[in-house]
Amino acid sequence: MVIVAGDIFDAQSAQFFEGYVEMENGIIVHAGRGAPPKAPDMRGTVLPLFFNWHTHVADIIARERIQKSGRKWTIEELVGPGGEKHRILEETRDAELVSAMCQAMWEMAHNGIGGFCDFREGGLHGAYLLNSALAGQKIGCMRMARPAKNAYDRAELDAILKISDGIGASAISDWDYSELKKVARHAKSEGKKFAIHASERVREDIGLVLDLKPDAIVHMTQGTDRDFAAVADAGLLVVVCPSSSKFFGMRPPVDKMLAAGVNVKLGTDNAMIASLDMFEEARALRSISSVNLIDSLRMCLSPTGNIFNGKNYSRSLSEGAPPEFMVLKGAVSSAGSKDVIGVFLGKYSGRR
């Protein structure tokens, strides 16, 4: 029996309470309020594991090269079609890419992240490599693949969708729209998810974006008040990535999104330019918006059920369920990933 005690965050009420959790064989036996029945094995602040809502984990292979370059990159130069990151990915051997993605997953898990949504480039082969990296991992992944080229190929899409959870497309500006619409319809017809980057570098027609029936939109940095109202009316969530946006000299207008009623989540985006650290992302968000500490943390959590549309937060302390929480030393108000002293994810437990 393992007992963890301390200030526990209840995501449903957004309140902390003094309590404890008893676990055995990767299952929560009991979760209660007040003092534990005996001395705990670990004490601290207990938070649900985070969900990283938007990643490109393979990009971590380019981290050292990009950081050492010392140059200021534009979106087009670094991550646009044919950009530097794509050249690096294409020239890297499969085994190195898989190893790099495993490293990224290890970093996330040790930073208190229990799941992530990855937009994987490279077509069918890229999707296979992501699955190879995920083999044996405890961390969960929503696998959003894409065609090798920005064009619709029915046979390729069929094969991709068999081994992924959906399609994570680049912006409509990168595509022949008629081709992109075929991709979106195909994904939906197979019961899979479709998500897309939108209005990151330049504003794009939100009507065209919404006509694709996406489950989620990433960035919307150049969106307008009318765009945000349309997104809110459609009931879609928008994933913002403040650290990545800052790298490119931009800032997502989060206060305007929230004022319009948009459901906003946080992601770290490209792994070579932003840390795989949701504490850091939440801190970056607070520095550019009026979002408070608790709300910024809730933007890092995963809902149950439909991962894109659900609004009920994961019950990480349910009795009879596997644990999905982290333990921090000190108060959450000043916490960072360096303060994570324990991660409990099913039968896996990591301690520092």
Can you read off the two tokens belonging to residue 329? 């030393």
Residues 10, 181: Cα–Cα separation, whole Å:
41
Domain match, 167 and 202 both: yes
Can you read off the two tokens belonging to residue 38? 């005996």
Domain match, 80 and 119 both: yes
In contact, 241 and 275? CB cutoff 8 Å? no
Domain match, 59 and 44 both: no
CATH assignment of the domain containing 212: 3.20.20.140
User: Residue 313's pLDDT is what?
Assistant: 43
In a domain, 309, yes or no: no
Range 63-68 average pLDDT: 90
Q: Is the confidence at residue 179, as pLDDT, over 80?
A: yes
Q: Is the confidence at residue 325, as pLDDT, over 70?
A: yes
Domain match, 172 and 236 both: yes
Domain match, 75 and 187 both: yes
In contact, 60 and 103? CB cutoff 8 Å? yes
Domain match, 272 and 208 both: yes
In contact, 122 and 148? CB cutoff 8 Å? yes
User: Residue 134's pLDDT is what?
Assistant: 97
In a domain, 305, yes or no: no
Residues 326, 109: Cα–Cα separation, whole Å:
10
Beta bridge partners of 239: 218, 265
Domain match, 27 and 61 both: no
What's the pLDDT tens digit per position in 14-36? 889 999 999 999 999 999 999 99
What's the pLDDT tens digit per position in 242-289? 999 999 999 999 999 999 999 999 999 999 999 999 999 999 999 999
**Count of domains for the chain:** 2
Beta strands per DSSP E along the chain: 2-10, 15-24, 27-33, 42-48, 50-56, 113-119, 140-145, 166-169, 193-198, 216-219, 237-240, 263-266, 269-270, 324-328, 340-345, 348-351
Going by pLDDT thresholds of 50, 70 and 90, the confidence category of residue 316 is low
In contact, 20 and 27? CB cutoff 8 Å? no
3-class SS of residue 326: strand
Task: Give me the percent of the chain exceeding a pLDDT of 90.
Answer: 84
In a domain, 266, yes or no: yes
In a domain, 310, yes or no: no
Question: Alpha-carbon dihedral of residues 13, 15, 18, 20, nearest 10 degrees?
Answer: 50
In a domain, 304, yes or no: no
Domain match, 84 and 179 both: yes
In a domain, 24, yes or no: yes
Per-chain mean pLDDT for the chain: 93
Q: Which of 306, 310, 241, 299 is nearest to 270 (CA)?
A: 241
Domain match, 105 and 23 both: no
CATH assignment of the domain containing 23: 2.30.40.10
Range 66-87 average pLDDT: 91
Domain match, 116 and 240 both: yes
Question: How many Cβ atoms are within 10 Å of 305's Cβ, its own excluded?
Answer: 10
User: Residue 306's pLDDT is what?
Assistant: 47
In a domain, 303, yes or no: no
Q: Is the confidence at residue 346, as pLDDT, over 90?
A: no
Q: Is the confidence at residue 343, as pLDDT, over 90?
A: yes
Q: Which H helix or E strand runs over 41?
A: none
In contact, 7 and 34? CB cutoff 8 Å? no
Residues 346, 82: Cα–Cα separation, whole Å:
40
Can you read off the two tokens belonging to residue 54? 């938007």
User: Residue 304's pLDDT is what?
Assistant: 52
Global pTM value = 0.95
In a domain, 311, yes or no: no
Q: What residues make up the domain containing 84?
A: 50-298
Domain match, 167 and 26 both: no
Residues 58, 85: Cα–Cα separation, whole Å:
10
* 124-158 b/e (C-beta count within 10 Å ≥ 16 → b): bebbbbbbebbeeeebbbbbbbbbeeeebbeebbe
Residues 196, 214: Cα–Cα separation, whole Å:
7
Domain match, 32 and 115 both: no
